[in-house]
Amino acid sequence: MGWKEAAEPVLTRMPTVRRPEGHVPFKRKLGWTAGILVLYFFLTNIAVLGISTQGGEDLFGQFRAILAGAHGSLLQVGIGPIVTASIVLQLLGGANLLGLDTDDPRDQVLYQGLQKLLVVVMTALTALPMVFAGSFLPAANVIELGGLTLTGAEVQTLMFIQIFIGGILILYMDEVVSKWGVGSGVGLFIIAGVSQRLVSGFLSLSDEGFFYSWYQILFTDEIAVNSWLSSEGFNTLFIADNGGQLLALATTLLIFGIVVYAESVRVEIPLSHARVKGARGRFPVKLIYASVLPMILVRAVQANIQFLGQIIQSQWSMPGWLGVYANGQPVGGFFYYFAPIYSPNDWMWWTGQTPAGIDPWQIMVRIGIDVTFMVVGGAIFAIFWVETTDMGPKATARQIQNSGMQIPGFRQNAVVVEKVMERYIPQVTVIGGALVGLLAVWANMLGTIGAVSGTGLLLAVSITYKLYEEIAEEQLMEMHPMMRQMFGGE
């Protein structure tokens, strides 16, 4: 008996959201999407019962824009378990260790069940150290609940149950959006989190707010600028988080422009219908063919590395070569060099904002590792993404063949179409993945408004652009029902 036969009774009984039996009207899809979005914001504002007023340290603080959720809320773990489970399955699938054929309906059910089971396991493994380690989500000493008095391990167990339920909720919220709404739940939650931080970064009535900071610079003396050309004036106007943030503003606007432009750069392969004379079309191979979503996987690997370092540092004595921590952040050792660059203050040593005791050569090594990790990781995960989402040359050729289209000048054969696609898709996938990784590091190094991180901003802009395209496509199919049959819709 193979593993599939042994695991099938469990995997096929995993709770699932029922697929719609027919076409879902566009307005109803928007309603489901909006409803899940409201529920997401609602859950992020419900604090975990039993948490201490001190709040503790957010392990995913620097990655929060990517992993969504909110620290100290029911959605404490965010989409982290979903992303981690996807990474594990992609690696196992890429090595062909699962033995699953996604074209087989039975194997599709097993794959989806295995993914859900992994998400459940990852949710538990992520929540356990957060609660029971004691320093990340410190529990209140005593709480009263319905006449019961809970203390110590009882409070921690209650907190764990709440966070675990929140992780399961976000899994099924994502499935509801994917089957009944527009886009995907993971993308929707990323857009929501990044947009919230961007709006806060612009409009906050504190030193972190862009407009409030400029009001202080221009009309008050609370932020002193001795000379606009001095080192202090440059730092205040361009770099400081509580200053003018001109560098962050320029980076934010440039990322918007670059991503929108990159989404429009494409190689268009001409198509014609084999039976309908005059029916022509084009298959676009975009520069960012695999989308920006593989960046979530790359950053999730980095987040898990830092998560592991925080746990080791809080529970055991860590050797210096492995990591040296100050104020909860690595300042030396392996975990320092593999920590992403988060802001200009992490590498502009000449401004005096970097932690004391770190030499310029150490900073350069960290930058080199971060760039290499993102560029190489972006290319590798882009390839995995294309192959596992049926966007590769073989799957694309099969889709074109099934739609009745062909490439003019070539025989109507899936193998021939696949060879044509192999001239473009693999190369564009690698180039696009590496380019996105480089953009993410560059944006992080220069900073962004609201400290959403370069990867978070890239994801938000790209996902929003694709969501706009999907909404336009849904509207087109709603106006012309025959289009749904041509494109394989419901």
| For range 82-104, the mean pLDDT | 79
* Whole-number pLDDT of residue 91: 76
246-270 pLDDT tens trace: 888 998 999 889 888 888 888 888 8
210 vs 53: which has the higher pLDDT: 210
* Whole-number pLDDT of residue 374: 93
* Whole-number pLDDT of residue 272: 81
| Residue 386 pLDDT exceeds 60 | yes
Regarding pTM above 0.85, the answer is no
CA distance linking residue 25 with residue 19, whole number of Å:
14
**Tokens, residue 288:** 């960012």
Residue 385: partners with Cβ closer than 8 Å, 6 or more residues away: 90, 290, 291, 293, 294, 297, 391
* Whole-number pLDDT of residue 489: 52
What are the distances in angstroms from CA 90 to CA 83, 84, 168, 376?
10, 10, 21, 16
Provide the angle, in degrees to the nearest 10, between the axes of the packed helices 454-479 and 26-44: 150
* Whole-number pLDDT of residue 480: 60
190-239 pLDDT tens trace: 999 899 889 988 988 887 888 888 888 777 755 554 555 556 666 777 77
Return the SS3 of 77.
coil
* Whole-number pLDDT of residue 136: 80
Count of other CB atoms within 10 angstroms of residue 32: 16
Beta bridge mates, 325 = 330
Q: Are 174 and 80 in contact (CB under 8 A)?
A: no
Residue 109: partners with Cβ closer than 8 Å, 6 or more residues away: 11, 12
Count of other CB atoms within 10 angstroms of residue 18: 8
Q: Are 402 and 271 in contact (CB under 8 A)?
A: no
Which of the residue ranges 196-205, 337-346, 369-378, 458-467 has the most confident prediction, judged by mean pLDDT?
Answer: 369-378
| Residue 487 pLDDT exceeds 90 | no
User: CB burial class (10 A; 0-12, 13-18, 19+) of residue 222?
Assistant: exposed
Please report the domains of the chain, with CATH numbers, ordered by start residue.
3-10+25-181 (1.10.3370.10), 198-209+245-486 (1.10.3370.10)
What are the distances in angstroms from CA 256 to CA 458, 460, 464, 468?
8, 9, 11, 15
